[in-house]
């Protein structure tokens, strides 16, 4: 079922990406997030057994899953500093958020299938996950994207230091969110996701450079 959901959502978006030149990098990162979810879903059980990681949901969801997911989701942003035009530099966080939201969409659809027998429960689940999990995944990956912006600007060792710090912070935020959800503190998790989302967007608005570096950005 996971594979069928993936094909049914991924292929139409790829076709749309090929047809539309505008915002193609964002579409590509969104599609990559969907691929990242499928990869995590297929590979993580094998990795857990290979590494003898305890088969306990909260431990895996708080300490193991977040670092793996954030690393895989951030691959497009990892490549971007080396191939993107200079005017893209301030917008790496958008590429990161696109990847994270693509991951969350696939995750939400698979949760929906699990709850499809109860239409009311499914509706509530999707509303809550859209207000929480999509934001959490998007912001976590966006944070890594912004760290690459700082690294690209700093150059030298900062090109490595900032992204590593961003990955650690994103993993901690992701792990905290999962811990709240699994501790039956869903309302707190939703409020946390909304609060961090507002703070993140405000921070990007304040920190984004004006004019010079962003002028002439072509989203193709």
Provide the domain count of the chain.
Answer: 1
Three-state SS at 193:
helix
DSSP string, 20-83: --TTHHHHHHHHHHHHHHHHHHHHHHHHHHHTT----HHHIIIIIHHHHHHHHHTHHHHHHHHH
Q: Print the domain residue range for 177.
A: 2-209
Assigned domain for 219 exists: no
Q: Please, are residues 10 and 76 in contact by the beta-carbon 8 Å criterion?
A: no
What is the residue-level pLDDT of the chain in tens, covering all 220 positions? Answer: 777 777 777 777 777 777 777 778 888 899 999 999 999 988 888 877 776 677 678 888 899 999 999 999 999 988 887 776 776 777 888 999 999 999 999 998 888 887 666 655 677 777 788 888 999 999 999 999 999 888 888 888 998 999 999 999 999 999 999 999 999 898 899 999 999 999 988 877 766 654 445 544 555 5
Assigned domain for 74 exists: yes
Assigned domain for 220 exists: no
């Amino acid at each position: 079922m996971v594979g069928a959901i993936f094909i049914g959502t991924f292929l139409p978006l790829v076709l749309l990406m090929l047809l539309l030149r505008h915002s193609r990098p964002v579409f590509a990162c969104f599609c990559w997030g969907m691929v990242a979810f499928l990869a995590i879903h297929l590979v993580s059980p094998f990795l857990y057994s290979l590494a003898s990681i305890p088969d306990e949901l909260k431990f895996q969801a708080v300490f193991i899953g977040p670092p793996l997911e954030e690393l895989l989701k951030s691959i497009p942003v990892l490549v971007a500093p080396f191939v993107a035009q200079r005017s893209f530099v301030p917008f790496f966080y958008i590429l990161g958020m696109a990847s994270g939201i693509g991951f969350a969409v696939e995750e939400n659809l698979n949760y929906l299938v699990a709850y499809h027998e109860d239409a009311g429960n499914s509706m509530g689940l999707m509303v809550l996950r859209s207000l929480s999990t999509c934001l959490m995944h998007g912001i976590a990956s966006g944070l890594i994207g912004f760290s690459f912006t700082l690294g690209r600007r700093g150059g030298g060792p900062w090109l490595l230091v900032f992204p590593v710090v961003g990955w650690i912070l994103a993993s901690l935020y992701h792990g905290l969110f999962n811990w709240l959800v699994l501790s039956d503190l869903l309302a707190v998790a939703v409020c946390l996701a909304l609060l961090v989302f507002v703070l993140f967007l405000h921070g990007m608005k304040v920190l984004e450079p004006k004019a010079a570096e962003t002028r002439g950005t072509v989203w193709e």
